Amino acid sequence: TMDSAYTLQYAPPAASHSFPILTKAPSSITDWLFVIYTVGVVMTLGWYLLSYLRLRVLLRKAAPVSSVMQQQIQTVCNTYSLTSCRAVAVPGLTSAFICGVLSPVLAIPENQDVDDKILLHELLHYKYRDSVQMIFWCTLRCLHWCNPFLQFMFHRIENDMESLCDQRVLERLEGEQRREYGIILLNMANERYARAPGTTSISNGGKNIARRVAAIARFKKYPRGMGLVSVCILLGLVSPLLLGTTNAKATNYLSQTGKLGDPREATLQQGLAA
């Protein structure tokens, strides 16, 4: 059952990459499982892409926000030294969100008052390019669609990203404003939220908001130097993935045989020679 029509069991891949390619019909259970996995990846990617394109079309048809709302957004940007992006008013929207990477759009509920703290939250998402992170995590969701443990981890990562944005908001607010921000989150506990790639929203479900409010109660500013520590940890984790290591067994085998083949044959030849 471990035989495969797409790759050899013992020899290193002869191609320039290690991902098998569907070059012929499946010949074993292993091949069929790989075909099912590949179809799942393609279908999940297609679903995310379709969701994103439908959302972009909706935002493209939406009208620009009113001059009053545009002035409110600009005031928030000036107060907290942030930059703005194109803002549109979407009918039926429950909460604001940022969508897009190359041409980000701030979607605002039509004919509704939006608190400055919600705008601050979304503009901080825009400042730190959290939409790019969402695309990255959605891509990993597609590649690991069949792994429920990793799906749970990606879900927690996305929620932690919202909690980090809450932290950034609270660092810019003072006193009573922080309590008001927590009340705003509580009022969003029952709202639905989208999980389209390339989007960020302050609302992410009742259970997650409850954890975020609990974190607000424990709020403390990060000490200076935490950014440098985070970068060092990231470099320490990423460098082995980028640089890689030499496959000792494959190198030893190639040096003995000079060609790809079954290592059992090389072992048999060594035994006969002895």
Cα distance between residue 187 and residue 151, in whole Å:
27
Q: Spell out where the chain has E strands.
A: 63-64, 86-90, 97-99, 105-109, 199-201
Sequence-distant (6+) residues with CB within 8 A of 78 are none
Tens of pLDDT along 41-67? 999 999 999 988 988 898 898 999 999
Which of 74-78, 105-109, 193-197 bottoms out in mean pLDDT, i.e. has the lowest? 193-197
Burial readout 236-252 (b: 16 or more C-beta within 10 A, e: otherwise):
eeeeeeeeeeeeeeeee
Task: Read off the pLDDT band of 1 (50, 70, 90).
Answer: very low
The model carries a pTM of: 0.71
Nearest 5°: phi and psi at 109?
A: -60, 135
Sequence-distant (6+) residues with CB within 8 A of 98 are 85, 104, 105, 106, 107, 122, 125, 126, 130, 131, 199, 200, 201
Tens of pLDDT along 181-240? 888 887 776 655 556 777 877 766 666 777 777 776 666 655 556 567 667 777 777 766
pLDDT of residue 210: 72
Nearest 5°: phi and psi at 64?
A: -60, 155
Cα distance between residue 48 and residue 195, in whole Å:
9
Sequence-distant (6+) residues with CB within 8 A of 187 are none
Query: Which run of H or E residues covers position 161?
Result: helix 148-172
Of 18, 12, 14, the C-alpha closest to 247 is 12
Cα distance between residue 20 and residue 15, in whole Å:
9
Burial readout 196-211 (b: 16 or more C-beta within 10 A, e: otherwise):
bbbbbbbbbbeebbeb
